[in-house]
Amino acid sequence: MAGAYKAPKERELRAQGKRTLRRLLGAGLQVFADRGYHAARVDDIVRVAETSHGTFYLYFTSKEHMLGALAAECAAQYEQLAAEVDEIDKFVARFFEIYQQYGPVIRAWMERHVTAAEVNRLGVDAFTHIAAALAKRLQAVGAPHDMPTVGAMMALLERSAYYQSAGAMPEDAAPAVAGVLKRGFLVPS
């Protein structure tokens, strides 16, 4: 995680500070989802968080800093998920859950709305680890594990999770996507 994009460490905060930080981060996600990252303003975030500008600036230097903190959280969850690829049903369900929670951050990465290289690197690294884990899983079952195959799997995962978060796919789409991955990719050639 890039140093400039760390939120205050939760162990350094008291209980109320932890709650305030979580409230601010939740408000940031909500505002980024509702307005889009570029249109979001600190005013909007503090209104949703029901706090002051001063409180916001105790935790973050800007909305970009907040996005970076959210990106670091999201990347950490996807990094952890990469180790869980052996159980495809659970893996896909968790991938969708993380996407649902951090969709505005992931969309900012995917749509290249983030200008901070450190924040973009978090997304690239997280998705690269997932792709590498999927390639390893494919190799273990004797299936093709080349870049086009892994890229197709990643595209299916990301776009399906995106459409679900946008309401264009049913909320229970993860099992269907897991089935497609198992039948279409995780069978020996």
Options 3.40.50.300, 1.10.10.60, 3.40.710.10, 3.30.70.3040; CATH for 3-64 is 1.10.10.60
Q: What is the pTM of this model?
A: 0.87
Q: Is residue 2 very low, low, confident or very high in pLDDT (cuts 50, 70, 90)?
A: very low
Task: Render 126-158 in DSSP notation, one character per residue.
Answer: HHHHHHHHHHHHHHHTT---SHHHHHHHHHHHH
Q: Could you report the per-residue pLDDT of 3-17, keeping only the tens digit for each?
A: 455 655 544 778 888
CB 72 within 8 A of CB 2: yes
Domain segments of the chain: what residues? Answer: 3-64, 67-184
The dotted CATH code for 67-184 is 1.10.357.10
Q: Could you report the per-residue pLDDT of 9-41, keeping only the tens digit for each?
A: 544 778 888 899 999 999 999 999 999 888 999
Q: Could you report the per-residue pLDDT of 95-116, keeping only the tens digit for each?
A: 999 999 999 999 888 877 777 8
